[in-house]
Amino acid sequence: MDRRLLPAIVLLGVALAAPFIVYPVFLMKVLCFALFACAFNLLIGYVGLVSFGHAAFFGGAAYITAYSVKVWGWPTEAGLLAGIAVAALLGLAFGAIAIRRQGIYFAMITLALSQMVFFFCLQAKFTGGEDGIQSIPRRPLFGVIDLKNELTLYYVVLAIVLSAFWLIYRTVHSPFGQVLKSIRENEPRAVSLGYRAEHYKLLAFVLSAALSGLAGSLKSVVFQLASLTDVQWQMSGEVILMTLVGGLGTIFGPVVGAVVVITMQNYLAPLGEWVLVIQGVIFVVVVLAFRRGIVGEISAWLSRLRA
């Protein structure tokens, strides 16, 4: 147990010290996407379902938080909760429809459904169409914590994201998580043992959607902006890429993947459209040669050393 905690403690130390060295806005972006990728990983790594529609939860929640905070004047924490709630509801609707099919069908169905949400956001009045919702005020959290200070905001985001990680960790290691794993490994057997597989899968889907929503909501608070980029299918592709690069089904993989992909986007931004090409190349290389991802390969290498 101690040994497994070690990387977590190191990471925590790095996270606490980081904003004094790196641009905090960039770090917060990494945190939001790390959470998004972990939420996504919950589904693919532990239920074996690949969703190509997670942008709908991420972007949908971003819009709800943005709108409730900016237009209705809700406090930030209420806005976040509203975002999570809407993402969970969307997840319930998506799940109820998509869970009937597995594998690639599931991917295609979630993609199509999220495209529907995209068109809704494009046409609906409240989202501001192409302009998105801009200049979202950073209202003090619980009325006391001033989020206008970027350093404070960073620690708040860090705290929220860490609690979400903890929640994911607990879920995976709970009896619920064990049932999910058994369904992934052998669904008919799990069913024969009396587990209602569909309910478990649906619940996992809703949880994953809600946490993706939290990530989207946080992003809208950090950037004071919710826009169509957040609901576009390319966003679903990006989160898959992060998870894949880091390592499917590993605890820290999605975090590493998010750091790598976001850093890459940041420093390669001057290259414009080549970024997409490079992402495509990474997809191909990872799928062909490093299917375990960075973390997966490292831990495989470590266990080979030990053996």
Closer residue to another protein in complex, CB, 7/159: 7
Please select the residue that binds another protein; options are 5, 10, 71, 122, rule is CB under 8 A: 122
Output the six-digit token pair for 196: 């209602």
107 lines the binding site for another protein (CB under 8 A):
yes
For residue 305, what are its two tokens? 């050393």
User: Is 300 near another protein (CB under 8 A)?
Assistant: no
Interface residue with another protein, options 10, 72, 73, 131 (CB under 8 A):
131
Interface map 2-41 toward another protein (x if CB under 8 A): -------------------xxx-x---x------------
Residue nearer to another protein on the CB measure, 116 or 302: 116
274 interacts with another protein by CB under 8 A: yes
List 39, 259, 261, 295, residue binding another protein (CB under 8 A): 259
In the set 74, 233, 290, 298, which binds another protein (CB under 8 A)? Answer: 233
Asked if 184 and 46 touch (Cβ cutoff 8 Å), the reply is yes
Out of 158, 207, 244, 261, point to the residue binding another protein (CB under 8 A): 244
Q: Work out the end-to-end distance of the chain between its first and last CA atoms, rounded to an integer number of angstroms.
A: 19
Q: Out of 91, 132, 253, 257, which residue is the one contacting another protein (CB under 8 A)?
A: 132
The pair of structure tokens assigned to 17 is 């010290």
Should residue 186 be labelled a site residue for another protein when binding is judged by CB under 8 A? no
Name the minimum Å distance from CB 151 to another protein: 14
Phi then psi for 110, rounded to 5 degrees? -65, -35
Residues linked to residue 134 through DSSP beta bridges, in sequence order: 225
Query: What is the Cα Rg of the chain in Å?
Result: 19
Considering the rule CB under 8 A, would residue 296 count as an interface residue with another protein?
Answer: no
Minimum Å gap between C-beta 121 and another protein is 10
Size of the site for another protein (CB under 8 A): 64
141 to 78, 173, 266, 272: CA distances (angstroms): 9, 31, 29, 37
Task: Report if residue 108 touches another protein, rule: CB under 8 A.
Answer: yes
Residue linked to tokens 């058994």: 182
Asked if residue 293 binds another protein (CB under 8 A), the reply is no
Instruction: For residue 129, state whether it binds another protein (rule: CB under 8 A).
Output: yes
What are the distances in angstroms from CA 39 to CA 35, 46, 190, 293? 6, 11, 24, 17
Going by C-alpha positions, the residue among 206, 201, 215 that lies closest to residue 93 is 206
CA angle 255, 257, 263 (to 5 degrees): 100
